[in-house]
């Protein structure tokens, strides 16, 4: 490997940045050292925020590195820049515009306004930013919340848009023995203070005003989708055709029906289909959210798709849509899974 290797980063707004990567240095390390706008968070391969598509050249993956990339993502050239070293001159395509990465994550504090039970295992956490504290995020991105009284951080996407700041809402799945779940269920009180950090992630609404949108959400993967739909509702002009397919495991896990019905009143172009895997009630599809999709839903060549939910659902969605001829570059996905085993 040469001592210095040239790497080009191509952004979605047709901006190109060039940098030199030293032997033993990852592309992300070199980009941050050069002050380039690259989205990232954990720098260990567990968050996937620094994913980019290898366009040309040869790379090496740092020994022992983990990865959240799905097999289909790896096959079409996605690599995590925090693990990737340049073996030859190479180029990467980033899925976001150059100005996106210029929004640095902020740390701030927020007060608890309410915790509301939505289903057997889901609550809505309502927060309000502390006075003189602020942050910004794109609909779909996630924030990190520190569990009070611990050193543990958990990642959640707001279900509310940035237009509602200083108010923030999150959908939290309750996990038996989970640190955040225990705090919410046993100790959380109104006016408790949480520390927040963000935004992070490449999963956000791309603001393609005229293209049809298909949203696929499993469980609390609905949260970032709600933020996107709220942003579309607040945007002026004619709304594009919108399809939301939302699913849960059982009727006791199903939530958000009233909120989605209200959204349909505000967004006449929005169609909602609901799916339940076990014991589907009348009006719901039986199975995962994918059971409610057809190839016809992607008939328009410019259809943009957002998929968020458990890793298995996201992987299956990518395979299914690819079999229908959907362009992988038009499929934006985020895996929602417990951050760690119960503690």
Q: How far apart are CA 42 and CA 188, in angstroms?
A: 27
Question: CATH no. for residue 33?
Answer: 3.10.20.30
Q: Who contacts 288 (Cβ-Cβ below 8 Å, separation ≥6)?
A: 218, 247, 275, 277, 313, 316
Which residues on neighbouring strands pair with residue 51, listed in sequence order? Answer: 80
Q: Please give the structure tokens belonging to residue 77.
A: 């050239």
Q: Supply the range of the domain harboring residue 235.
A: 213-335
Q: How many CA atoms lie within 13 A of 96 on its CB side?
A: 23
- The count of structural domains within the chain is 3
Place of tokens 């992607």: 298
Whether 322 is covered by a domain: the verdict is yes
Domain boundary among 169, 200, 231: 200
Determine the pLDDT at residue 342: 43
Q: How many CB atoms lie within 10 A of CB 270?
A: 21
Determine the pLDDT at residue 337: 72
Q: Please give the structure tokens belonging to residue 87.
A: 């073996």
Whether 33 is covered by a domain: the verdict is yes
Clarify whether residues 313 and 226 are in a common domain: yes
Say if CB 44 and CB 26 are below 8 A apart.
no
Whether 341 is covered by a domain: the verdict is no
Whether 35 is covered by a domain: the verdict is yes
Determine the pLDDT at residue 1: 42
Question: What is the model's pTM?
Answer: 0.90
Q: How far apart are CA 185 and CA 284, in angstroms?
A: 30
Clarify whether residues 61 and 114 are in a common domain: no
Place of tokens 């790497």: 7
Domain boundary among 49, 76, 100: 100
Clarify whether residues 190 and 235 are in a common domain: no
**Can you say whether the dihedral through the CA atoms of 226, 160, 309, 140 is positive or negative?**
positive
Determine the pLDDT at residue 340: 52
Domain boundary among 77, 100, 123: 100
Q: How far apart are CA 57 and CA 91, in angstroms?
A: 7
Question: CATH no. for residue 323?
Answer: 3.40.50.80
Clarify whether residues 96 and 71 are in a common domain: yes
Mean pLDDT by groups of 10 residues along the chain of 343 residues: 83 94 94 92 84 95 79 90 94 92 89 97 97 93 96 97 97 95 96 96 86 96 97 90 97 94 95 96 95 96 95 94 93 80 43
């Amino acid at each position: 490997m040469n001592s210095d290797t040239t790497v080009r980063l191509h952004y979605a707004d047709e901006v190109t940045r060039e940098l030199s990567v030293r032997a033993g240095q990852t592309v992300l390390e070199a980009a941050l050292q050069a002050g380039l706008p690259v989205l990232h968070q954990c720098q260990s391969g567990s968050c996937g925020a620094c994913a980019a598509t290898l366009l040309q050249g040869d790379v090496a993956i740092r020994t022992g590195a983990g990865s959240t990339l799905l097999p289909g993502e790896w096959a079409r050239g996605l690599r995590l820049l925090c693990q990737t070293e340049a073996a030859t001159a190479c180029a990467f395509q980033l899925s976001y515009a150059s100005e996106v990465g210029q929004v640095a994550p902020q740390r701030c504090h927020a007060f608890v306004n309410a915790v509301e039970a939505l289903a057997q295992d889901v609550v809505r956490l309502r927060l309000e930013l502390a006075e003189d504290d602020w942050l910004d995020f794109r609909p779909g991105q996630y924030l990190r919340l520190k569990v009070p009284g611990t050193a543990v951080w958990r990642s959640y996407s707001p279900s509310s848009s940035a237009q509602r700041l200083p108010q923030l809402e999150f959908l939290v799945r309750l996990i038996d023995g989970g640190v955040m779940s225990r705090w919410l269920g046993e100790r959380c009180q109104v006016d408790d203070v949480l520390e927040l950090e963000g935004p992070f992630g490449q999963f956000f609404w791309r603001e393609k005003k005229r293209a049809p949108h298909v949203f696929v959400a499993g469980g609390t993967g609905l949260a970032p989708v709600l933020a996107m739909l709220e942003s579309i509702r607040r945007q002026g002009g004619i709304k594009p055709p919108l399809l939301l397919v939302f699913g849960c495991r059982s009727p006791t896990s199903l939530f958000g029906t009233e909120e989605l019905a209200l959204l349909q009143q505000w967004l006449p172009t929005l169609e909602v289909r609901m799916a339940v895997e076990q014991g589907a009630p009348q009006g719901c599809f039986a199975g995962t959210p994918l059971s409610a999709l057809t190839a016809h839903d992607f008939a328009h060549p410019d259809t943009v798709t957002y998929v968020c939910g458990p890793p298995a659902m996201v992987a299956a969605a990518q395979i299914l849509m690819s079999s229908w001829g959907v362009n992988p570059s038009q499929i934006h996905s985020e895996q929602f899974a417990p951050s760690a085993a119960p503690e």
